[in-house]
Amino acid sequence: MSAKVSAKKMLAKKKPAKKLPPPRLPTIPAEELNSAQQALVDSIRSGPRGQATQIRGPFAVFLHSPDYGQLAQQLGGFCRLKTRVPPRLSEFAILLTAKLWRSQYEWFAHVPHAERAGVTSQTIAALRSGRAPKSAPKDERAVYDFIKELYLRKRVGDRTYARLHALLGDEGMVEFVGILGYYVLIAMSLNVFRMGPPEGEPLAFPEG
């Protein structure tokens, strides 16, 4: 399949997965936000994500605890947009995290970011299916091996560490692990509170 075919189109060809149950947290309408919740929305939109940011997915969760949400969204803004990790490797890592947690919204939200950053459709399809992305560049395969070993062993061996460290250095490695941790936090929040993609969007992973 050509790399020009978007991952979203490939996903649409799959049989639809079972629907998510209803969210466990109610949607808070914009006109019903209290002062702390409105301050959180303002902070999200005035930060690196921009004014057009939609308050859904993890942000809709954060509204139910705005003090916590303020801290979490600041960390997220840094992890996604301000680290020394190249965006292509960061988004690759986020997609693999979404796959490992079967986090429907996280996958939905980050496939477009990954495509724009340069992750190919073949690689995205491989991650979604649980296959090693054999056609991916060496740096993406180093990220893949690091994350898979970390999940399998709860540790990372010297050889695996050295491969990624050669690309990122000390500061980048610290930030990379921070990216992994933040998007696990997001995946757990989305899964526990059943925050799925918008109505009509296909689910990436089986439910039930």
What are the Cα distances from residue 22, in Å, to 49, 127, 131, 193, 199? Answer: 27, 27, 30, 9, 11
Average pLDDT over residues 7-20: 58
Would you say residue 3 has pLDDT above 80?
A: no
Q: What is the model's pLDDT at position 208?
A: 74
Q: Is residue 202 within a helix (H) or strand (E), and if so which, with residue range?
A: none
pTM value > 0.85: yes
Q: What is the model's pLDDT at position 7?
A: 58
Reading the block at residue 133, the tokens are 């992305």
Domain 85-194 belongs to what architecture? Answer: Up-down Bundle (1.20)
What are the Cα distances from residue 133, in Å, to 14, 112, 130? Answer: 19, 18, 9
Whole-number percent of the chain with pLDDT over 70:
91
Would you say residue 12 has pLDDT above 80?
A: no
Please give the Cα distance from 57 to 186 (Å, whole number): 9
pLDDT digits (tens, 9 = 90+) for 122-181: 999 999 999 999 999 999 999 999 999 999 999 999 999 999 999 999 999 999 999 999
Reading the block at residue 39, the tokens are 């301050």
Q: What is the model's pLDDT at position 19?
A: 83
For helices 87-101 and 138-153, what crossing angle results, to 10°? Answer: 40
Burial per residue of 128-167, b for 16 or more beta-carbon CB atoms within 10 angstroms, e otherwise: beeeebeebbebbbbbbbbbebeeeeeebeeebeebbbeb
- Parse the chain into domains and list their residue ranges: 33-82, 85-194
Average pLDDT over residues 196-202: 94
Q: What is the model's pLDDT at position 8?
A: 56
